[in-house]
Structure 1
Amino acid sequence: MSAQDHAQPAPDAVLPGQTVKHNPLLDFSGLPDYAQVRPEHVQPAISQLIAEARQALAQATDPSTPARWETVVDPLSVATERLSRAWGMASHLNAVADTPALREAFNAALPEITEFWTELGADARLYAQYKRLHASLAFTALSPTRQRIIEHALRDFRLGGAELQGADRQRYAQIQERSAALAQRFSENLLDATNAFTLHAQADAVTGIPDDVLHTARDEAAKAGKPGFLFTLHQPCYFPVMQYAQDRALRERMYRAYVSRASELGDPALDNSPVMAELLQLRDEEARLLGFANFAELSLEPKMADSPEAVEKFLLDLARRARPYAERDLRDLRSFAAEHLGLPELAAWDIAYASERLREARYAYSEQEVRQYFTEPQVLAGLFDLVQTLFGIRIREDDASSGGAWHPEVALWRVENQQGELIGQFYTDLHARPGKRSGAWMDDARARWLRPGRHLQTPIALLTCNFAAPVDGKPALLTHDDVQTLFHEFGHGLHHLLTQVDDLSASGISGVEWDAVELPSQFMENFCWEWDVLQRLTRHVDSAETLPRTLFERMLSARNFQAGLQTLRQIEFSLFDLRLHHGLRTFTPQAVAETARMTRDEVAVLFPPDFYRFQHSFSHIFAGGYAAGYYSYKWAEVLSADAYAHFEEHGVLDPETGKRFRDEILARGSSRAALESFRAFRGRDPQIDALLRHQGMSETTRT
């Protein structure tokens, strides 16, 4: 099949009666046209697509409809995939181009779409059809992938309330609708609280802050009609200020504002305290309705981990291993701060500043020095070169205007095979700006699918970051941490784009166990520490020289700088999440805060001030799908480190090993269990040794 054939719309891409030219959310003929979407498009499109999906559901569950893949799964997949794509467009714009009008339209449609998905997941008639299909001779004739999809669907029906009756069924639906609204409210409160804060400073208070950050802050002040500098809590501003500002009072004011966002210490209208409490209560009630003792047990049902107890054991064991290194990290930092920085008492707002000074002193380089070599265009070129070498693909820029990009800085890219045939496409949106949710993520705009009628639909990914934008006519500069973030999200993108599974429910990341989804993303981060790779990634912003070997060696020496502290921090967050959903019995803001304190007392060595409210901005678990699943980052680190060790054994740029990783991990989707895919690649079960070695916490690295 040629690239042109791949790019053709499906024969049934536009349903009769759809007013495509008036509503881009109803146009499925090609690339999504984000640029043309207006708030007034959302509600009519979603209502129409839900109505069509209900028609497909009625037909699939009609008593005269035989329980076969072609008569039940395919027609319903066509209708619900359209709805998912349209809602995905609205959701993406809500995250990257928030406006009051779009937010209002999104929130108006949210109850209707939540109600539909809840009803679909609990539809007793459809559940019965799937059970009939599973019990029929037709099931035995299905491919192993389709059999697995049916089995997972039966599990998801049970987890979706399909076996509930009467008042319990009604209550379950109410919980889903309310939980969706609360999660959206959590995100909005956090975004609004972040946007609401600015700190006005004069030249005498900004010593040490990098020039590009000051340039942006000066521009922000000018826009506000003020002299001096205007600092915000957005990541490209906040983190450099905390690392480099010599003015301790400035750092304290920024820190206080950042760690108390969306809490009772700020604007009451943006306080996430009641949102968290109600969400936790609803999740617990949902779990009990479905026959689980708590939400953690429900959450883990489709994951790799066997039980909450197994997860806690894993985390506590890792904490035990990391603690000596964290204690050493903290001793070193306190000693350095007292001796060299005049800080005998290290406050929370001194940690990042003192750590960066210690890094500079110990390893003779700073992040700002390294940053000059990581220009965004070169990093992207090097990343693309790497994955082309490893995975036998080609990446070239596409016309973003043809894809209706939502912002002028957005770029569109094509992924092709060696014959020039289209595999998939992805958008990059890399810079922070007002109205854009913080953080970094990959989302899918469209999945690979051999649609009914044998038309192959190619996948489309959305890669979103929040790096500092270009200043002074120069390309944007990335920190090494930014580079790792980009590689991480691109790993998710590869998982979505390089799938070879043709069935929608198992292609890409769809259906992959949540605690295995991070394997490809964390795996990709390892390449950011390879000399041969960094030669491809770096060109000095002024001299165009590649990263010097001497500087690389100093970076490598510092790779595990404060790895103990960082590991304990992630374990603290993971245990906090698990215990909120496993052991909590009183669902109040006070109980949430007490759980955070007790968890910190048990595993941490670094303790923040009383006004620290990290839970109020913990979007992963309250608005991002990681509830009782944040541990998956550490769980998948074991898998990713062990997988990368296989490359170390055969050559980190070895195309043959890359091909095996693509074929056994990236291409498989959820067509088989994640552990089976790992074993197929590695030849055995995962082991923790590589992770400990990579993080400098093996017995041989202890000092």
Structure 2
Amino acid sequence: MTNPLLDFSALPRFDAIRPDHVVPAIDTLLAEAVAALTRATTAAAVSWDDLVEPLHDATERLGRAWNQVGHLNAVVNTPALREAYNAALPKVTRFHSALRQDPALYQRFRALAAAPEAAGWSVARRRVVDNALRDFRLGGAELEPDARARFAQIQQDVAALSAKFSEHVLDATDAWSWTTTDEAELVGLPADVLAQCRADARDAGEDGWRLNLKMPCYLPVQAYADNRALRERLYRAHGVLASDAGPSELDNGPLIDRILALRAEQARLLGHADYAELSLTTRMARSADEVLAFLRDLAARALPHARRDRAELETFARDTLGLDALQPWDLAWASQKLREARYSYSGQEVKRYFTGPRVLAGLFDVIHSLYGLRVEEDSAPVWHEDVRFYRLVDGDGRPVGQFYLDLHAREGKRGGAWMDDCRNRRDRADGSTQTPIVYLVCNFGRGVDGAPATFSHDEVVTLFHEMGHGLHQLLTEVGELPVAGINGVEWDAVELPSQFMENFCWEWPRVEAMTAHVDSGAPLPRGLFERMLAARNFQSGMQTVRQLEFALFDMELHVGDPPADVLALLERIRDEVAVNRPPSWHRFPHQFAHIFAGGYAAGYYSYKWAEVLSADAYAAFEEQPDAVAATGARFRAEILARGGSRPALENFRAFRGRDPRIDALLRHGGMAPEASAAGAGSPA
């Protein structure tokens, strides 16, 4: 097999894929998919085996190859790979637009749904066809030819603009660095960060310490650098990434305006009032008004706590740190100082205990205790030496799934953390089962000079979060591709399993087991953990309203006509909920890839919406602390295993025996009133 992207016989051959493989492979697979579409729309019979399975065969191969290309473009981006990706992107987008718009295929699916055989279908199979009919309508299949063509063009344009948005953020981040030879400017920075900056300078052929805007460097500077001018330097550089304050060719401002205009036009073509209404057709939430009411209800509960947090920080900064005016680049630093003063510990002290190997062992132990599954090292071709590969097996040693783990930040790798699927579960006609494979990607710092990597507790929480997404995909027991794993799950429920996993980072026996000091090997002392626990809700009010600011901004962007001034809209949202106000020159929207280059447009509220579900789900474990395995088995069976085969609210009700309640979220966040109305403000 000369082109590794056309080889589906085993695991992806990431070590062999080159940019010049991309376009030929995608062209071949597109031709196969078009031929399958033609056969499906001209076959004499209309049945599941004649219509659905052949389409799934062809589109799965295309999807798996394209996912490999997109994944590489995100984690080992090069000019040649980017060029190949952008050359193939319009072709793939055109095909999927045509697939969802094909009138003959739409009519065949309608006939299939009405056929006698439908009465004997499984719940999952019924859901596949129902979702397909919905997606035909949302894809423009019922539009007149001219409108259908325009709709397809919009989809292509938005896909290209979103890819460019992400590229601009990556390029602007990679382009910035600052080197100093004066170690006195770096006072306060943790030793591991200094070591990495020294290594980065050495690799660049420079003397001294080289700083950048990637999170393993940027966040410690903001939190620990005593040099106020240094904090300001990086804050200002980061705050205007990919904006009008930098190179015009990397300015995301025009892309934002164009994306919003195209989304609004797309919604109107389908008969929706705006993009928010269109987006919510596939969510748990029923309307933008419902979402906005939920967010504002939560804001009303959180704002008193947030204002108290801000007032306490200002008082501490003035009286203890000598800062009369608290600037944005002071917030993280002053907050860290206040945390240390109030709770007598430093995040960097804690970080020394969370060594990479120990954290992974602890994570895998949580998976075993919840679901009776073992994580074992496995081997596979990989895209970078950082990457590790694992398999998940049941108690009898049978394979459940596999996953790649790529933990460390590097040049050419998109920032953030995410899970994506490499191959989904599928039950085949011959009785065999294709097991799922996922990618788990983070951007943590690495160990230097032979020392193991150490993670902050926040990073440990992030790792557990992404593993939660991975388990949602890996533990599905649904064999129909379109509703296996997270496929077909409402977007505002997809964060439930990931946020649920975060809670286990706060249980003492698990934390003790996953810690080993980088120098002594000793576990985290119980006293230090108790101080961490006491500080768990430190500034939770401020953190909550910050997320609500993003969610309200996103939803208001997509309600009604696009705003004439995006930044002015953001300022109005901040008038409503913000307690920490960025300066007017800050360009947060220009980096907001979740909604402009990801799947969260008119959906960023999902994090808070799903947090109600996840907190309430974890409360089931709190209520029965001696029945972890039994409760874990129910969580797996009713939520993880079900995938998108039934509505998320039905999954939750099957697990909890009732509708979700907001009480656990408020309690976990330290914002619970003494008495609250059960279910108030919750997504039921």
- Does 2:80 correspond to 1:101? yes
| 3-state SS in 1 of match to 2:15 | helix
1:517 to 494, 516, 522: 494
Superimposed CA distance per residue, residues 574-615 of structure 1 (whole angstroms, 9 cap, x where no aligned partner): 0000011013444x5xx1111111111111122111111111
Tell me which residue corresponds to 1:466: 443
- Does 2:410 correspond to 1:430? no
Instruction: Name the CA distance, whole Å, in 1 between partners of 2:127 and 2:292.
Output: 29
Tell me which residue corresponds to 1:17: none
Letter in 2 for 1:655: A
- Does 2:649 correspond to 1:669? no
Within 5 Å, give how 1:225-374 maps onto structure 2.
225-374=205-354
Superimposed CA distance per residue, residues 73-110 of structure 1 (whole angstroms, 9 cap, x where no aligned partner): 00000000000000000000000000000000000101
| 3-state SS in 1 of match to 2:420 | strand
- Does 2:183 correspond to 1:203? yes
| 3-state SS in 2 of match to 1:651 | coil
692-701 vs 533-542, which moves further: 692-701
Instruction: Name the CA distance, whole Å, in 1 between partners of 2:14 and 2:539.
Output: 42
Instruction: Name the CA distance, whole Å, in 2 between partners of 1:451 and 1:344.
Output: 67
2:544 to 553, 564, 567: 567
Letter in 2 for 1:314: F
Letter in 2 for 1:420: G
* Count of residue pairs the alignment pairs up: 675
Instruction: Name the CA distance, whole Å, in 1 between partners of 2:103 and 2:571.
Output: 44
- Does 2:528 correspond to 1:555? no
- Does 2:507 correspond to 1:530? yes
Tell me which residue corresponds to 1:159: 138
Q: Is the 8 A contact 1:511 1:670 kept in 2?
A: yes
| 3-state SS in 1 of match to 2:585 | coil
Superimposed CA distance per residue, residues 551-580 of structure 1 (whole angstroms, 9 cap, x where no aligned partner): 010000000011000000000000000011
Per the TM alignment, residue 65 of structure 1 is displaced from its structure 2 partner at its CA by 2.9
Q: Is the 8 A contact 1:59 1:65 kept in 2?
A: no
Letter in 2 for 1:374: F
Q: Is the 8 A contact 2:264 2:561 kept in 1?
A: no
Per the TM alignment, residue 452 of structure 1 is displaced from its structure 2 partner at its CA by 3.1
Superimposed CA distance per residue, residues 120-158 of structure 1 (whole angstroms, 9 cap, x where no aligned partner): 111111110100001111111211211111011101110
Tell me which residue corresponds to 2:420: 443
Q: Is the 8 A contact 1:121 1:161 kept in 2?
A: yes
Letter in 2 for 1:291: G
Letter in 1 for 2:575: D
- Does 2:478 correspond to 1:498? no
1:643 to 611, 617, 625: 617
Tell me which residue corresponds to 2:101: 122
| 3-state SS in 2 of match to 1:444 | strand
1:616 to 590, 603, 611: 590
Instruction: Name the CA distance, whole Å, in 2 between partners of 1:510 and 1:146.
Output: 13
Q: Is the 8 A contact 1:641 1:690 kept in 2?
A: yes
Q: Is the 8 A contact 1:74 1:452 kept in 2?
A: no
Runs of 4+ off more than 4 Å = none
Instruction: Specify whether residues 352 and 584 from structure 1 end up closer, same or farther in structure 2 by C-alpha distance, changes over 3 A only.
Output: farther
Instruction: Name the CA distance, whole Å, in 1 between partners of 2:99 and 2:121.
Output: 23
Instruction: Name the CA distance, whole Å, in 2 between partners of 1:30 and 1:136.
Output: 37
| 3-state SS in 2 of match to 1:412 | strand
Tell me which residue corresponds to 2:599: 625
195-204 vs 72-81, which moves further: 195-204
Tell me which residue corresponds to 1:146: 125
Instruction: Name the CA distance, whole Å, in 2 between partners of 1:508 and 1:166.
Output: 35
Q: Which runs of 5+ in 2 are unaligned?
A: 677-684
Per the TM alignment, residue 432 of structure 1 is displaced from its structure 2 partner at its CA by 0.3
Per the TM alignment, residue 701 of structure 1 is displaced from its structure 2 partner at its CA by 10
Q: Is the 8 A contact 1:577 1:621 kept in 2?
A: yes
Tell me which residue corresponds to 1:594: 568
Tell me which residue corresponds to 2:679: none
Tell me which residue corresponds to 1:685: 659
Tell me which residue corresponds to 2:152: 173
Q: Is the 8 A contact 1:172 1:289 kept in 2?
A: yes
Tell me which residue corresponds to 1:487: 464
Tell me which residue corresponds to 1:14: none
- Does 2:167 correspond to 1:193? no
Q: Which runs of 5+ in 1 are unaligned?
A: 1-20
Per the TM alignment, residue 496 of structure 1 is displaced from its structure 2 partner at its CA by 0.3
Alpha carbon RMSD of aligned pairs, Å? 1.1
Letter in 2 for 1:236: P
2:193 to 213, 225, 236: 213
Letter in 2 for 1:684: R
Q: Is the 8 A contact 1:304 1:513 kept in 2?
A: yes
Q: Is the 8 A contact 1:326 1:605 kept in 2?
A: yes
2:452 to 457, 472, 475: 475
Per the TM alignment, residue 300 of structure 1 is displaced from its structure 2 partner at its CA by 0.4
Q: TM-score, normalised by structure 1?
A: 0.95
| 3-state SS in 1 of match to 2:386 | coil
Tell me which residue corresponds to 2:57: 78
Instruction: Name the CA distance, whole Å, in 2 between partners of 1:296 and 1:34.
Output: 38
Q: Is the 8 A contact 1:389 1:653 kept in 2?
A: no
Instruction: Name the CA distance, whole Å, in 1 between partners of 2:353 and 2:283.
Output: 40
- Does 2:111 correspond to 1:137? no
Letter in 2 for 1:674: A
| 3-state SS in 2 of match to 1:430 | strand
2:432 to 436, 439, 455: 455
Per the TM alignment, residue 652 of structure 1 is displaced from its structure 2 partner at its CA by 7.1
Per the TM alignment, residue 474 of structure 1 is displaced from its structure 2 partner at its CA by 1.1
Q: Is the 8 A contact 1:23 1:45 kept in 2?
A: yes
Per the TM alignment, residue 653 of structure 1 is displaced from its structure 2 partner at its CA by 6.7
| 3-state SS in 2 of match to 1:35 | coil
Letter in 1 for 2:152: A
Q: Is the 8 A contact 1:197 1:233 kept in 2?
A: yes
Instruction: Name the CA distance, whole Å, in 2 between partners of 1:416 and 1:701.
Output: 45
Superimposed CA distance per residue, residues 217-263 of structure 1 (whole angstroms, 9 cap, x where no aligned partner): 11222233322211000000000011111111111010000011000
Tell me which residue corresponds to 1:384: 364
Per the TM alignment, residue 620 of structure 1 is displaced from its structure 2 partner at its CA by 0.2
* Identical-pair percentage: 57
Instruction: Specify whether residues 653 and 185 from structure 1 end up closer, same or farther in structure 2 by C-alpha distance, changes over 3 A only.
Output: farther
| 3-state SS in 1 of match to 2:491 | coil
Per the TM alignment, residue 410 of structure 1 is displaced from its structure 2 partner at its CA by 0.5
Per the TM alignment, residue 532 of structure 1 is displaced from its structure 2 partner at its CA by 1.2
Letter in 2 for 1:385: D
Letter in 1 for 2:673: E
| 3-state SS in 2 of match to 1:427 | strand
Instruction: Name the CA distance, whole Å, in 2 between partners of 1:31 and 1:226.
Output: 40
Superimposed CA distance per residue, residues 518-554 of structure 1 (whole angstroms, 9 cap, x where no aligned partner): 0000000011111011022111111111111100100
Q: Is the 8 A contact 2:260 2:562 kept in 1?
A: no
- Does 2:671 correspond to 1:697? yes
Letter in 1 for 2:273: A
Letter in 2 for 1:65: A
1:395 to 366, 375, 381: 375
